[in-house]
Amino acid sequence: MRTTLTKTMEFHAAHYLPTFPEGHKCRRMHGHTFRVELILEGPVPAERGYLVDFGDIKELAKPVIDELDHTVLNEVPGLAVPTAENLSRWIYERVKPLLPRLAAVRVHETANNAAEYRGGT
């Protein structure tokens, strides 16, 4: 059996988006409760019955998420332009070596807006 798992984590941070047009509200400093979905895929070993323990996903990804929590994202190395698109890639690149089954990272800036990164360019 092949399956997809999603582990959801949150962090709180401020950012501003310097590449947005002058006068755009997102150029000003503002904050969000970001919701991050770590999406893992793969075959479930029949003898075990699960792909990856949700607790293990949380434990491995927590240091990466904690690096973003209660920060100004623009000040985090590699996030000078901390859009949801760039955040999803930034998180993916740091978590993928820890969780080889990671297929995608989806970052929700709001309840209605999200970006997903699946590796590659």
Residue 40 · residue 4 · CB < 8 Å: yes
Residue 37 known to be catalytic: no
At 88, list the tokens: 């999803």
Nearest residue to 1 (alpha-carbon basis) of 53, 60, 42: 42
At 40, list the tokens: 């893992």
Residue 26 known to be catalytic: yes
Q: Give me the catalytic one of 12, 24, 30, 70.
A: 70
Nearest residue to 71 (alpha-carbon basis) of 83, 60, 79: 79
Give the orientation angle of helix 54-68 with respect to helix 84-95, to 10 degrees: 130
Q: Give me the catalytic one of 26, 37, 93, 116.
A: 26
Residue 32 known to be catalytic: no
Q: Give me the catalytic one of 15, 32, 108, 109.
A: 109
Positions marked active-site: 26, 70, 109
